Chain A
């Protein structure tokens, strides 16, 4: 028990001695904090001190995220001044310089008190100046031994119990003082999230723009052109019908061909925008239809999904369609398992096939297509496909409605 306590005492003394050293070093540095390089060092010191305090009290320590500094000096200065971490470091340094030095002295006393008392007892009679024990000068061996014993007991108690208590308190204070507050952490997480969202939003806008352009091109080059050709043939046929009915009939037949082509193209365009079966049957029904049509036997496991945003339904549908196509075309699978589930505001999809595996983003556009489409909705897609299989494609889509 005493040994254990001594170890704790020694740890505490070591911590306090280091505190004394840094505290004393910090004192002359305080006025120099106006210099940017010193400020930078202060932040580094604060982080080191924080880590030390956390380690001592046995608390979880996570290094603070360091955001990249702006390039230009003026911007960097503004950034540093606005950062709460800077002010936290300065405040910490000031407290450390004063309070740290004080508790450091306690550490010094705890570490050196007992040895110095013993030395004093050994040499009091040989030195020319009077030696005091507990403030009382020693006059003879009797008073020296009693005084020395009192000092050993006092400093010993300080070493064994006082120092650990002081250091515990000071380490907790340091940890609290130098760690960002919960509100600050929340703000940090929020700003990270905002950055992520603006990124995915930009991607979504880009994907949306590309999609609009594709639809415009399909309608313009295909359907619209065919309708123009159709109207033209009908107009000519109308003029010809009296003079050359045979030719008019030929033109009308061609016009009907144009109309059929336009209808087929229009259907394809609509299908790529939002498959009609999603409207009719919802995601579950549409995926069951996909599974029934897949060339590989497919099992669809699903549950009641509630109302889902149309974009999420469409993305989920296309991801599953793409995964099934992959399983049938490249994986040489003999069975596929599709699972759809919703937990709170997240739609989870898992497509597993028992094929040969080895699928990656570089082979074909299927998987990267899924990824792009899902990322545009702030979702995630992952592919696990070791050579030899099985291949598991997981998609998660946020679906707060």
Chain B
């Protein structure tokens, strides 16, 4: 994978670069702020862009805004927003324009290298990756429409929101793929998602999940 990294913290940027290069990927460019992002994307044609939320000049949420803007300019661009802390509203904003090729993860997740690279790969392929912390924030809502789901169904949906496929979900929950399939069917029914393109329903389920 060719990756463009937008991260102002040199230690973290170097760490990410090391992690990518030792895993056989290429860090095409490391930017200190989001200003040249679209230009760098045009020049390097990366498979994915990793963007920190807090960036110069104001150190607020310009990374998040830059990611949203970059995706408006280049809808196919895969973006992983990477942050020291996660906020549900940020996830909602990030996924409003569609969940294809979008990820939102805590920086903590680099500690589990395989899972992190898996998520990176998934997002680059057009999947989604949502941090379990965001999912947790969403699930603590008592009157959420999703409260109709059983706890197992919620677990399945949480893993779907993280962008995992049925096989991987089955492995994580230590159940058969058939059982996962049934759970997903019931989730679609309970969320009122009509039959149709199953991939599309999947995204809509995740969006219902994120949008509240």
Q: Is the beta-carbon distance between A280 and B212 smaller than 8 angstroms?
A: no
Q: Is the beta-carbon distance between A279 and B59 smaller than 8 angstroms?
A: yes
Residues in B with CB closer than 8 Å to A270 are 85
Asked if A293 is at the interface of the complex by the 8 Å CB criterion, the answer is yes
Q: How many residues of A contact B (CB 8 A)?
A: 21
Tell which of B43-51, B135-143, B190-198, B199-207 binds the partner: B135-143
Q: Is the beta-carbon distance between A295 and B143 smaller than 8 angstroms?
A: yes
For B84, B107, B144, B212, which residue has the most chain A Cβ atoms within 10 angstroms? B84
Grouping DSSP codes into helix (H, G, I), strand (E, B) and loop, the B interface class, with mixed when no group exceeds half, is: loop
Asked if B18 is at the interface of the complex by the 8 Å CB criterion, the answer is no
Interface residues of B in 29-67 (CB under 8 A from A): 53-54, 59-61
Q: Is the beta-carbon distance between A280 and B60 smaller than 8 angstroms?
A: yes
Tell me, in angstroms, the Cα distance from A267 to B143 when the chains sit together: 27
Tell me, in angstroms, the Cα distance from A361 to B61 when the chains sit together: 37
Residues in B with CB closer than 8 Å to A256 are 111-112
Q: Is the beta-carbon distance between A296 and B143 smaller than 8 angstroms?
A: yes
Q: Contact check: which of B87, B106, B140, B212 meets A289 at CB < 8 Å?
A: B87
A-contact 0/1 string along B137-164, CB 8 Å cutoff? 1001111100000000000000000000
Q: Given A264-B108, A280-B54, are A292 and B60 neighbors across the interface (CB < 8 Å)?
A: no
Residues in B with CB closer than 8 Å to A264 are 108
Q: Is the beta-carbon distance between B141 and A295 smaller than 8 angstroms?
A: yes
Grouping DSSP codes into helix (H, G, I), strand (E, B) and loop, the A interface class, with mixed when no group exceeds half, is: helix
Q: Is the beta-carbon distance between B108 and A281 smaller than 8 angstroms?
A: no
Q: Is the beta-carbon distance between B84 and A289 smaller than 8 angstroms?
A: no
Tell me, in angstroms, the Cα distance from A176 to B60 when the chains sit together: 60
Interface residues of B in 92-127 (CB under 8 A from A): 92, 106-108, 111-112
Q: Given A259-B111, A264-B108, A281-B61, are A293 and B84 neighbors across the interface (CB < 8 Å)?
A: no
Q: Contact check: which of B61, B107, B143, B212 meets A292 at CB < 8 Å?
A: B212
A residues contacting B by CB (< 8 A) are: 256, 259-260, 263-264, 267, 270-271, 276-277, 279-281, 288-289, 292-293, 295-297, 328
Query: What would be 11 A-B contacts, judged by CB atoms less than 8 Å apart?
Result: A260-B111, A264-B108, A267-B85, A271-B85, A280-B60, A292-B88, A292-B212, A293-B137, A293-B141, A295-B142, A328-B142
